[in-house]
Amino acid sequence: MSKKRIFISFAMEDKGLRDLLVGQAKNANSPFEFVDMSVKKPWESAWKTNCRTKIKGCHGVIVIVTKNTKNADGQLWEVKCAGEEGIPRRGVHGSTTNRPTSLPSELEGTRVVNWTWDNLKNWIETL
């Protein structure tokens, strides 16, 4: 199987979780590689244009979901953008203790699963 390009969407407060996912992608048996847009300036139009281009070039978007997600304007824009572009999205709970009680409207229709290697791998293999 060829590697899939995956965009990782996360709240800046959850950068450590993104780093863990990036570490998983570096494993020899990883089914994906990632696109890094971690220097976020969400209110600059150039950022949005560049980000949309990167998202459109990916097979899917993994959304790291925590309590920080609801206030992460850049992350919510990324999720909405992926939906507009028809790019499949999968949410993963960033932790067992930092789960939101409800999901922002931008995540409507996005399945959110526990963060396990099997859950990630199985979804990516469907892309």
- pLDDT, tens only, 12-23: 999 999 999 888
Residue with tokens 């469907």: 126
Q: What would the pLDDT profile of 76-120 be if each residue is shown by its tens digit?
A: 999 999 999 999 999 999 877 777 778 899 999 999 999 988 899
pLDDT of the residue at 37: 58
pLDDT of the residue at 41: 58
Do residues 103 and 79 lie in contact, with contact meaning Cβ atoms separated by under 8 Å?
no
pTM, two decimals, is 0.89
Q: What would the pLDDT profile of 44-63 be if each residue is shown by its tens digit?
A: 668 888 889 999 999 999 99
Q: What would the pLDDT profile of 7-48 be if each residue is shown by its tens digit?
A: 999 999 999 999 998 888 888 878 777 766 555 555 566 888
Domains of the chain, each with CATH number or no CATH: 4-125 (3.40.50.450)
In angstroms, rounded to a whole number, what is the distance separating the alpha carbons of residues 52 and 55? 5
Give φ, ψ of 113 to 5 degrees. -125, 170
What letters, b where the CB count within 10 A reaches 16 and e where it falls short, cover 31-57?
A: bbebeebeebeeeeeebbeebbebbee
